Structure 1
Amino acid sequence: MTDAARNAALETLCAVREKGAYANLVLPGLLRAGKITGRDAAFATELAYGTCRAQGFLDAVIESASGRPIAEIDGPVLDALRLGAYQLLRTRVEPHAAVSTTVDIVKGGQSRGASGFANAVLRRIARDDAETWIGRVAPAASDDLVGHLAMQYAHPRWIAEAFWESLQRCGIQSMGQLQALLADDDARPVVHLAARPGEITAEELALTTGGDVGRFSPYAVYLPGGDPGALEPVRDGLAVVQDEGSQLVARAVAMAPVTAGPDGAADSGERWLDLCAGPGGKAALLGALAAIEGATVDAVEPSSHRAELVRTATRGLPVTVHVVDGRAAALEPGYDRVLVDAPCSGIGALRRRPEARWRKQPADVRDLVVLQLELLAAAADLVRPGGVVLYSTCSPHVAETVDVVAEAAAGGRLVPIDTRPLVPESVIAAGGSEGPHVQLWPHLHGTDAMFFQAFRRV
């Protein structure tokens, strides 16, 4: 079955390269179709996701070992070389097994010349360990430490630079912190579950699933491994897979204190709004909290497909889904609480999206900032005076976080408030949040690098 596991990983890599597919959507179907389970499924997962995460580093090594630019290597052969190089440099697979199985794969679908080329390249790679290859293909640490760390932990340089700038803005000046962040971002993350408030507690969910209660969110449970979709509480809708950082964002919306507007405070029957709801994780948690508080939630999502995912996630909760652009939602103003979980570069959640880091470009951020500011302007129109808008991104990029907050505040209608009291004290004690916003970090909190800032409408 180990060969079946390698083939499933290789098919995943091919779909990612040829079709722009997402590895975490392709691989599970291949495992089910091939009836690959247990240790072989875990091996296939490690190979597929690990190779996607390490692609930039692997490509640099392959170019050096082959003497050819990546663009000149045939796609299927390149997929196999990446898979073989990953086994050689980042797993405990015996070198002879990594080389021979990869060459056999190439032989099965390519010419004799292609298999000979793959054999020669992989044997050159196998002569040295990962540390030696890093020293060969990465910038010298003495001259360019950020560039060196980016290559060592398989990140595009611009993302490592964005992390470093954000860390410094948070008062973190140690390059060791950047190294720890990149290392954690390059590792396979722990699966987080969210227990549905009012239905099951985190303690009960942990007992049922064999997981551990989370450090920060009162709804979080960490899973030791396995397929979360196979767990009874997940199948029954009592829990969902959701990063603990996202749970803290939704909780902060519900906890933020609202003040009296011109017509008095809405102390019961509040109206809440999720202005960017797809695919529905935060909307579901907001809906469960709203049900407890006697509030209702409107969830906005412009894509009909994603809107259907929101409906599925919030079934049975006081949530109404609107298929409309949040910038022109045409909803009745006067909401007490508005969540703007804005579309962003997503560079704070790369560890959960293995291929994403190699698809994103710095230019993407500029267009996203325009959209983020437009959504915040729409939120200011929809929230009542004295109400709260909470802006969040799964990116720590300065342009998408503190710069957007500053520009939104300059408009005069939204005033930033200290967001730190909206999270448990242990979050702030773990570091990385200078205020008034909250910035979470993989290496400090074990979450995605979520940013959130609360505003009050004046």
Structure 2
Amino acid sequence: MAAVRRRADLPRVTAFAVLRAVTGDGAYPNIELSHALRSAGLTGRDAAFATELVNGTCRFQGTYDRILAVAGRRPLTTLQPAVVDLLRLGTHQLLAMRIPVHAAVAATVDLARERVGERVTGLVNAILRKVAAKELSDWMEVLVAGETDPLVVLATRLHHPEWIVRAYADVLPADEVEAALAANNEPAAPTLVCRPGITDRRDLLALGAEPCRWSPVGARYDGVPGELEDVRSARVGVQDEGSQLVALALSRAVEVAGPWLDLCAGPGGKAALLHGLARERGVPLVAAEVAPHRARLIDRAMAAYPGPHTVICADGTRPAWAPGSFAAVLADVPCTGLGALRRRPESRWRRDPASLGDLVPLQRALLRSALAAARPGGVVAYVTCSPHAAETTEVVDAVLADHPHTRLLSAPQYLPGVPGLRGDTAQLWPHRHGTDAMFLALVAVA
């Protein structure tokens, strides 16, 4: 009688499909997971299991790849990409999820058989059993053996590429670097944001959320935001407190009358908040976004607001508006995303130092465009979700040096009560503030 083959379980099948999309097609785990969980009908513990499998594997991917290369005694480039993803998922179960060895290995072998083929099952089984022979802490000792550079050791132990650790060390006190890196390995709790003029924080608290520490329009939510009707209807948004704070700071700094501009508005979180705040002032907001699909996301984020709102597809470096048109301009520029590693676990391995070569010139061009768009007496907020000096203070210093009729405002003045801010700019941190590592510079235009 032929042996009965076990079927791979649905949460692992779903996680594998998502990981293949992330590593093979460049998909974003949060977006891909949302679609995949809904399509598979996974909820509760099964959804949580698949989510941890994907996010945890993405977060520690670089570490797992080094472990697998040692355990398999071969470069991972000699294996099929699908097999590498199977091994990554199995390694996360073995080293970080405390799943019994026999269960983790058997389930991954079943998945390999079903999704790749019988011929790879022996290889998957053999490599994972070698991985299982050591605890994660023991593997760390193997990986750092003989290394004398403390930053390289820290990068290995805390699962970050070395270049990111050095970037953090450049801008943080030495005694905070480890805490900052460790905070990136803790998943961020969802944070809700009200839509001013439609909902307020009392509505968020009525959903069971707890008030944010500094944002008067935000609350932390211990649940799945997508299951809330107010989120689905866009009466409530999902937005990190740090993102809320930089938008609020700009709104507080504006003193002259006139329309507002969000220069790089997709996917729409800050634009929707600014739209509500601008409506309270009786002024319009123009939300500009170069990518049509992201412009549609802005429309969706603003859907709960009655009446017209202006979303245009426009390249911020080639303005579709006259110079000096706006009283407030938000330039939330494309960046490496090193400040959102809690939420974007794949980013630390997807980006590299070469990314800065493309991004920094664009960031400078967008800040110059933002300054040109502001009217006399207006304010520009330069924002990145990165603490890398090349994307933050160096961009601001370089651009303002060529704009003598500008003045750097004290950003901390417009973030009342927020501790640990130094100098005229504001750098938020997960380990200090429990937010993404948002950077803010406020510039007054004469």
| TM-score interval, smaller chain | over 0.9
| CA apart distance, 1:182 | 1.1
Q: What are the within-5 Å matches in structure 2 for residues 207-218 of structure 1?
A: 207-208=206-207, 210-218=208-216
Change (3 A) 1:140 1:273: farther
> 2:8 and 2:75 mapped to 1: Cα distance?
31
Alignment match, 2:347: 356
Alignment match, 1:262: none
Unaligned ranges ≥5, structure 1 = 259-264
Q: What are the within-5 Å matches in structure 2 for residues 41-190 of structure 1?
A: 41-110=47-116, 112-138=118-144, 143-167=148-172, 172-174=173-175, 177-190=176-189
Q: Does 1:320 align with 2:306?
A: no
Alignment match, 1:285: 273
Alignment match, 2:416: 424
Choose which of 341, 344, 349 in structure 1 pairs with 2:335: 344
| CA apart distance, 1:253 | 1.1
In structure 1, give the amino acid aligned to 2:234: G
- Say if 1:64 and 1:137, in contact at 8 Å, map to a contact too: no
> 2:83 and 2:400 mapped to 1: Cα distance?
52
In structure 2, give the amino acid aligned to 1:410: A
Q: Secondary structure at the match of 2:198?
A: coil
- Say if 2:234 and 2:300, in contact at 8 Å, map to a contact too: no
Choose which of 245, 249, 252 in structure 2 pairs with 1:252: 249
Alignment match, 2:239: 242
Alignment match, 2:218: 220
> 2:310 and 2:425 mapped to 1: Cα distance?
29
Alignment match, 1:304: 292
Q: Secondary structure at the match of 2:286?
A: strand
Q: Secondary structure at the match of 1:328?
A: coil
Change (3 A) 1:62 1:387: same
Change (3 A) 1:164 1:200: same
Alignment match, 1:230: 227
Alignment match, 1:19: 25
Q: Over aligned residue pairs, what C-alpha RMSD do you find?
A: 1.7
Unaligned ranges ≥5, structure 2 = 1-6
- Say if 2:8 and 2:107, in contact at 8 Å, map to a contact too: no
Alignment match, 2:3: none
In structure 1, give the amino acid aligned to 2:228: L
Q: Does 1:3 align with 2:4?
A: no
Choose which of 413, 419, 429 in structure 1 pairs with 2:405: 413
Q: With structure 2 as the length reference, what TM-score do the two structures score?
A: 0.94
| CA apart distance, 1:319 | 3.5
Change (3 A) 1:338 1:140: farther
> 1:76 and 1:255 mapped to 2: Cα distance?
50
| CA apart distance, 1:424 | 2.3
Moved more, 27-36 or 354-363: 27-36
- Deviations along 1:127-154, whole A, 9 cap, x unmatched? 111111111113667x222212212222
Q: Secondary structure at the match of 2:380?
A: strand
Alignment match, 2:445: 457
Q: Secondary structure at the match of 1:60?
A: helix
Q: Does 1:400 align with 2:388?
A: no
> 2:203 and 2:115 mapped to 1: Cα distance?
50
Q: Secondary structure at the match of 1:128?
A: coil
Q: How many pairs align?
A: 436
Q: Secondary structure at the match of 2:440?
A: strand
> 1:26 and 1:204 mapped to 2: Cα distance?
29
Alignment match, 1:261: none
> 1:232 and 1:107 mapped to 2: Cα distance?
40
> 1:41 and 1:294 mapped to 2: Cα distance?
44
Q: Secondary structure at the match of 1:193?
A: strand
> 1:243 and 1:7 mapped to 2: Cα distance?
30
In structure 2, give the amino acid aligned to 1:103: V
- Deviations along 1:86-127, whole A, 9 cap, x unmatched? 011111211221111112222334455521221111111111
> 2:15 and 2:152 mapped to 1: Cα distance?
29
| CA apart distance, 1:244 | 0.7
Q: Does 1:329 align with 2:330?
A: no
> 1:273 and 1:111 mapped to 2: Cα distance?
54
> 1:418 and 1:2 mapped to 2: Cα distance?
57
- Deviations along 1:161-184, whole A, 9 cap, x unmatched? 1111121xxxx231xx21111111
Choose which of 405, 424, 433 in structure 2 pairs with 1:436: 424
Q: Does 1:39 align with 2:29?
A: no
